[in-house]
Chain A
Amino acid sequence: MASKKIIPKKKIQTFQDTIFNLQKFWAKHGCSILQPYDMEVGAGTFHPATTLRSLGPKPWKAAYVQPSRRPTDGRYGDNPNRLQHYYQFQVLIKPSPSNIKKLYLNSLMSIGIDYKDHDIRFVEDDWESPTLGAAGLGWEVWCDGMEVSQFTYFQQMAGIECNPVSVELTYGLERLCMFTQSKKNVFDLVWNNEGILYKDIYHQSEKEFSKYNFEIANTDNLFKIFDMTESEAKNLAIQKLSLPAYDQCLKASHVFNILDARGVISVAQRAEYISRIRDIVKDTGKVWLESQS
C-alpha cells in the first residue's frame, strides 16, 4: 500500500482549557496564579499586580486572567472580531528573565501552537499608556500574520522609571482561540466540552452593554462620578493609602472610557481628562513606591 500521509486530527482546545493550560504553564515556572481584579479595567495591565507591582525593587512573578472592557469597541454583538468585553491572560515577571522568549514560545506549545510549524514574528510595537504614565519597548507577536500577544519590557510606570525592569506578556485569549480553533467568528468559540459556545455566555451582554455604553449611560452622572473619584484618589494618596487610591484611578479611567464611547468628550477635553487620570496615577505610584522600600 502506498504510504499515505496521515494528518492527525487535532483535538480542539476549548477556551477554558486554554486558560487552564496557560495557568498551569506559568505556575510551573514560578508565577503566583492570581484571580482577576474585581473592578472594571481596560486591560490586564491595569490590574495592580502589574501596575503597582512593576514598581520598586522587589522581585515579582504573577499570572492571571483579566476580563477587560473597552466600551468603544462594542459592536452590539454583530461584529465577528470586536467586543467591548474580552479576556486577556497576563504574565508579569520582575526582573525580566533572560530566557523569557523561550518561556513564551513554550507557553504557546502548551495551548496547541507549535512554533516550528508557524511563522512566529516579533514585530516592533512600543507601548505607551498616557493614562498610566507608562511606556515600554517590545513587540506584538504575530503567528501567521495574526497578532496573538503583546510582549513588553516596562521602562516607565506611573511616571516612574522601572528598576529593575519587568516583562509583561499579554495574550489575547479570544484571538488565540479563534486561531487554534479555526473560527472566523468570536461568538463561535468553543467554551468547554459540554457544547457551550462563547455566544451562549456573552452575546446578550455584548448587545446590552453596547447599548448602554453608546446610548444610555447617563453622562451627567458620569461626569460627576469622575470628579468624585478623582478627589477621592487625591485624598487617599495624601493619606498614603496607595491601593485604595489606585482603585479610584481605575474607576475614573473606566468612567472616562464610557464617556468617550458616548461621544461627549471633545478632542481638547480628551487630553485634559487623560492627564487628570495620569496625575492621580502618578500620585498613587509614588505612595506605593515609598511603601516598598
Chain B
Amino acid sequence: MSEFFLEVFTEEIPAKLQSSARNNLLKIFRDFFAKENIEIRGKEKAYSTPNRLIIHFDKIKKEIIKKAEEIRGPKTEAPDIAIEGFIKSNNIKKKDIFKKQTDKGEFYFFKNPKIKLKTHDILEKNIPDILNSISWNKSMKWGQYQLYWGRPLKSILAVLDGKTLNFKYHHLNSSNVTYIDKNLEEKTKLFKSFSEYQSYFKKLKIIIDNNFREKFIYEELKKISLRKNLKIEIDKNLLKEVTDLVEKPKILFCSFDKKFLQIPEEIIILTMKYHQKYFSILDNNGKLTNNFFVVSDNEDSNGYIKSGNESVIEARLSDAEFFWRKNKSQNMVKQVSELKKVNFFKGLGSYFEKVQRIRKLSGIISDELLISKEKIEIASSICKVDLLSDLVGEFPELQGILGGYYANAQGFEKDVCLAVSEHYLPIGIDSKIPKKPYSIALSLSDKLDSLVGFFGKNLKPTSSKDPYALRRSATGIIRIIIENNKKFKLRDLINYSANLYNQQELKIEDSNLQHEIGEFLVDRLRNYMKEKEIRTDIIESVVGNNGIDNILDSYKKALNFNKVIKKQIGEDVVFIYKRASNIISEPIKKKELEQMSNADPGLFKNEIEKNLYKKIHEIRKFFTNVANENEYQNMLIELASSKKEVTDFFDNVTVNDENDAIRINRLGLLQMLCATFNNYLNFSKIDNG
C-alpha cells in the first residue's frame, strides 16, 4: 500500500471557494482511482488553507494488474497506411498483429499481454489531465499563461510513498517541495510524507487541517469569553469563513468606544461581521457589549494588530453613527411621497403605490383581527420609508428593522414600530414570525400584495428559479397563519388585492389568480407539513378537500391524525373506514349508489342497523357542536368510538340481502358512515396499515 499526497499552492483562494475546491479535488482523484481500479484501502482526506489545497490518501494500491486483452485494429482490406498507423500507435511490431474473423468482418488484432502497472507511473502520466478536470465556480487567468485556475497557481507538490511524482502541468513542474512562507514565496522545504508535512507546519503554528482550525478558533472564542465572564453566540457561517481566511489563527480580544452602543445593535453586529469578520460579544444578559474578537493570521507581539483593528471599527461605527443620527431624524411621514421615485417592480408600480395597496389590504385584515384600522394604516404608510435611508442602502438586510428603529425614534406607537420592524418576517426556516396582530396584518398584506402582483404578471417561480422570493412569501403566509392560530379568508383577500392593482391602473391578469395562488399556497402547505414530519398520505388527505381558507384547520387535522396513526385510535379509525369503503366501492362504480345517499331508517330490519345509524348521527352532532377548535383529538376519539357498532354490523348483518331495496339501504348506511369520516379528512387517501 502506498501513501499519496498532493498540495497545490496558489495565491489566496477566496474563503467561499475553498471548501468546494478541496472537495472537488478529492473527488476527481477518487473517481480516477475508481476508474483505474486502483484500490483505496485507507483514509481519504482533503484540507485547505487560504494558499494550499491538499489531498491525502494514506493507503492506495501500489500497482495494478491489467488483464490480457485483444485490441481490434483496422479491417484486413484497409489501406496499408491505416494498418501502419495501428502498429505505430500501439507501439508494436508488424509480427505482433494477426487476422481474426468477427461478425462485422475480418480485422487485424493484436494481443496485449497481462501487465503490471505501477500506480506511480499511472499517476505521473495522468495527474495533469485530472487537474484539468477540476471545476471552479469562478476562475481566472494571469500573466501570459492560458491556464484557468481559482487564483494564480504557483507550485504543485506530489508525493507517492516518499517519492516525487514528476509531471509537467502547463508552465509548472511538480516536485516534492513547497513554499513555507505564503507571502513572499521564497523559502521552500522538501517533504516525503504527509505526517512530516503536517507536523512541520504545526511547529510554525500553521494548522493545515481546516477542521482542526475551525475547532481551535471555536474553542478559543468560547474559552476567552468564559474567562472574561462574557457570552458569545458564534455565527457558524462567519466561523467557517474566518477559518478559511487564516492559516495560523490568533484570537485577539478588542474593544471599541462604549458611546457607539447607542447605535441599534443590529447595525453594529453587521458592521463587524460583514465588513470586518469580527465576532461580537454579549454580556451575560445577552446584551451587546463593546468587546469583539478578531481572528488574526499573525502573532500580535507589538500590539499593532489589536489597536489597528480597534481604530478601523471605530471609523466604521462613526460613519454608521453619522447616518443613524441623520436617518432617524428624517420625518417618515413626509418621506412617504418620495417612495414614488423607488420602483417596486416594472408594471407593478412604485413603492408608493405598493404602500397604498398594503394600506387598504391591511385595513381589511384589521377588521378580522379586531385591531385599530387607523393604526395599521399608519404602519402601512411608513413601512417602506426606510428604503430611502442611507443605512438601508448600506445594509439592505436591515430593511424593516431600521424602519422600526426610525419609527420608534419619531415617537410612533409601539405596535406600529414593531409592525414595521417585523413586516418582512419570516425570512428563513429558523426565522421568528410576527406574533402581534399589527405585525401579522402588515406582514400578511405585504406578502399577499407581492404574490398577487407577480402572479398577475405571470412571473411565477419555476422549479429552479424564484427570483422574487415568492416561495418565501407564501411559506411566510402559511407560517403566520398556522403558528398564530389564525384564520383568514385568503380567497377574498386575493381578489381584493387584485382589484387594488386594477384600481391603480396597473394591469394584471386576474381571471385565474385565486386558483393559481391557491395551488401555490397549498403546495407550500404541503412542504410545511412535510417538514413537521407528517406522513405524505395524511398531507394529501387534507389538502384536497380543504381550500386555502382553511389552512389552519387542514394543518391541525393532519397533525392530530399523524400523532395517533400508529396508535389504537388511529388504527381503529382507518380500519373502520377501509372496511366500510371497500364494500361500497364496487356498487359506487356500478352506479348502484349515488354519490351522497342516505339510509332510510324505515327499511332497517334489526337493532344493529339502527344502532349504527344512531351512532352516525351522534358523531355528526358531535362534529357540528365542536365548540373548541382544539378538539381534533376528541373528534378522532369520537370516530373510533363507532368501532363497536360497526363491528356488530359486519359480524351480524349481511349487506347483500336478497331484497335489493334493503341491500341498497345497507350500502347507503355504510356510505353515510364514510361520508361522516370524511368530514375529518379524506380517509380514502390514507394508505392501509
List residues of A whose CB falls within 8 A of some B CB.
79-82, 95-99, 101-102, 105, 115-124, 126, 137, 139, 143-146, 153, 155, 162-165, 167, 179, 182, 184, 266-268
Known: A79-B319, A167-B142. A144 touches B304 (CB 8 A): yes
Q: Judge if B12 is at the interface, Cβ distance under 8 Å.
A: yes
Q: Tell me how far the C-beta of B154 lies from the nearest C-beta in chain A, rounded to whole angstroms.
A: 7
Q: Tell me how far the C-beta of B377 lies from the nearest C-beta in chain A, rounded to whole angstroms.
A: 27
Contact B305 A119 (CB under 8 A): yes
- Known: A80-B318, A122-B11; 16 extra A-B contacts, CB below 8 A, are A79-B322, A81-B318, A98-B143, A99-B185, A118-B298, A118-B305, A119-B297, A119-B300, A124-B17, A144-B309, A144-B312, A145-B278, A145-B294, A145-B308, A145-B309, A155-B141
Known: A124-B15, A145-B294. A165 touches B184 (CB 8 A): no
Contact A81 B315 (CB under 8 A): yes
Contact B14 A124 (CB under 8 A): yes
Known: A98-B152, A165-B142. A119 touches B298 (CB 8 A): yes
Residues of B within 8 A of A116 (CB): 298
Contact B184 A121 (CB under 8 A): no
- Report the count of interface residues on B (CB-CB < 8 A): 47
Residues of A within 8 A of B140 (CB): 137, 153, 155, 165
Q: Which of A105, A167, A179, A268 is the one whose CB lies under 8 Å from B343?
A: A268
Which residues of B from 260 to 316 have beta carbons under 8 Å from A? 276, 278, 294, 296-298, 300-302, 304-305, 307-309, 311-315
Residues of B within 8 A of A144 (CB): 304-305, 307-309, 312
29 contacts between A and B (CB under 8 A): A79-B322, A81-B319, A82-B319, A95-B142, A95-B143, A98-B143, A101-B184, A117-B301, A117-B304, A119-B296, A120-B183, A120-B297, A121-B245, A121-B246, A122-B50, A124-B14, A124-B17, A137-B151, A143-B308, A144-B312, A145-B276, A145-B308, A146-B312, A153-B152, A164-B144, A165-B141, A165-B142, A165-B143, A266-B343
State A291–B186 Cα separation when bound (angstroms).
39
Contact A146 B308 (CB under 8 A): yes
Which residues of B from 135 to 172 have beta carbons under 8 Å from A? 138, 140-144, 151-152, 154
Contact B141 A102 (CB under 8 A): no
Known: A79-B319, A122-B50, A144-B304. A97 touches B151 (CB 8 A): no
Known: A119-B296, A119-B297. A184 touches B304 (CB 8 A): no
Q: Judge if B16 is at the interface, Cβ distance under 8 Å.
A: yes
Kindly report which residue of chain A lies nearest to residue B301, judged by CB atoms: A117
State A95–B144 Cα separation when bound (angstroms).
6
Contact A126 B138 (CB under 8 A): yes
State A165–B309 Cα separation when bound (angstroms).
34
Contact B297 A115 (CB under 8 A): no
Q: Tell me how far the C-beta of B378 lies from the nearest C-beta in chain A, rounded to whole angstroms.
A: 27
State A81–B316 Cα separation when bound (angstroms).
9
State A179–B297 Cα separation when bound (angstroms).
19
State A88–B416 Cα separation when bound (angstroms).
47
Kindly report which residue of chain A lies nearest to residue B12, judged by CB atoms: A122
Residues of A within 8 A of B298 (CB): 116, 118-120
Q: Judge if B1 is at the interface, Cβ distance under 8 Å.
A: no
Residues of A within 8 A of B186 (CB): 102
Q: Judge if B342 is at the interface, Cβ distance under 8 Å.
A: yes
Q: Tell me how far the C-beta of B152 lies from the nearest C-beta in chain A, rounded to whole angstroms.
A: 7
Residues of A within 8 A of B312 (CB): 144-146
Residues of B within 8 A of A99 (CB): 185
State A144–B307 Cα separation when bound (angstroms).
8
Kindly report which residue of chain B lies nearest to residue A163, judged by CB atoms: B141
Contact B142 A153 (CB under 8 A): yes
Q: Tell me how far the C-beta of A143 lies from the nearest C-beta in chain B, rounded to whole angstroms.
A: 7
Of all A-B residue pairs in the complex, the 10 with the closest CB atoms, nearest first, are A144-B308, A124-B14, A122-B12, A145-B309, A164-B144, A137-B140, A145-B312, A119-B296, A95-B143, A95-B144
Kindly report which residue of chain A lies nearest to residue B184, judged by CB atoms: A102
- Counting chain B CB atoms within 10 Å of each CB, the highest count among A95, A99, A117 belongs to A117
Q: Judge if B341 is at the interface, Cβ distance under 8 Å.
A: yes
Q: Which of B151, B300, B315, B342 is the one whose CB lies under 8 Å from A184?
A: B315
State A98–B145 Cα separation when bound (angstroms).
11
Kindly report which residue of chain B lies nearest to residue A59, judged by CB atoms: B144
Known: A101-B185, A115-B183, A153-B152. A96 touches B311 (CB 8 A): no
Q: Which of A102, A117, A182 is the one whose CB lies under 8 Å from B302?
A: A117
Q: Which of A81, A123, A165, A179 is the one whose CB lies under 8 Å from B308?
A: A179
State A287–B144 Cα separation when bound (angstroms).
23
- Counting chain B CB atoms within 10 Å of each CB, the highest count among A117, A139, A143, A144 belongs to A144
Q: Tell me how far the C-beta of B677 lies from the nearest C-beta in chain A, rounded to whole angstroms.
A: 57
Contact A102 B185 (CB under 8 A): yes
State A120–B296 Cα separation when bound (angstroms).
9
Q: Tell me how far the C-beta of A260 lies from the nearest C-beta in chain B, rounded to whole angstroms.
A: 13
Q: Tell me how far the C-beta of B253 lies from the nearest C-beta in chain A, rounded to whole angstroms.
A: 14
State A54–B305 Cα separation when bound (angstroms).
36
State A184–B315 Cα separation when bound (angstroms).
7
Residues of B within 8 A of A163 (CB): 141
Residues of B within 8 A of A267 (CB): 342-343
Known: A81-B315, A153-B142, A268-B343. A98 touches B308 (CB 8 A): no
Contact B138 A123 (CB under 8 A): no
Contact B183 A105 (CB under 8 A): yes
Q: Mark B48-67, 1 if CB is under 8 A from A, else 0.
A: 00100000000000000000
Q: Tell me how far the C-beta of A72 lies from the nearest C-beta in chain B, rounded to whole angstroms.
A: 11
Residues of A within 8 A of B309 (CB): 119, 144-145
Kindly report which residue of chain B lies nearest to residue A147, judged by CB atoms: B312
Q: Tell me how far the C-beta of A167 lies from the nearest C-beta in chain B, rounded to whole angstroms.
A: 7
Q: Tell me how far the C-beta of A253 lies from the nearest C-beta in chain B, rounded to whole angstroms.
A: 22
Residues of B within 8 A of A164 (CB): 143-144
Contact A105 B184 (CB under 8 A): yes
Contact A97 B143 (CB under 8 A): yes
- Counting chain A CB atoms within 10 Å of each CB, the highest count among B15, B142, B311 belongs to B142
State A47–B30 Cα separation when bound (angstroms).
49
State A126–B137 Cα separation when bound (angstroms).
13
State A123–B297 Cα separation when bound (angstroms).
12
Q: Tell me how far the C-beta of B54 lies from the nearest C-beta in chain A, rounded to whole angstroms.
A: 19
State A235–B298 Cα separation when bound (angstroms).
55
Kindly report which residue of chain B lies nearest to residue A99, judged by CB atoms: B185
Contact B16 A124 (CB under 8 A): yes
Q: Tell me how far the C-beta of A92 lies from the nearest C-beta in chain B, rounded to whole angstroms.
A: 14
Residues of B within 8 A of A268 (CB): 343
Residues of B within 8 A of A122 (CB): 11-12, 50
State A182–B315 Cα separation when bound (angstroms).
12
Residues of B within 8 A of A145 (CB): 276, 278, 294, 308-309, 312-313
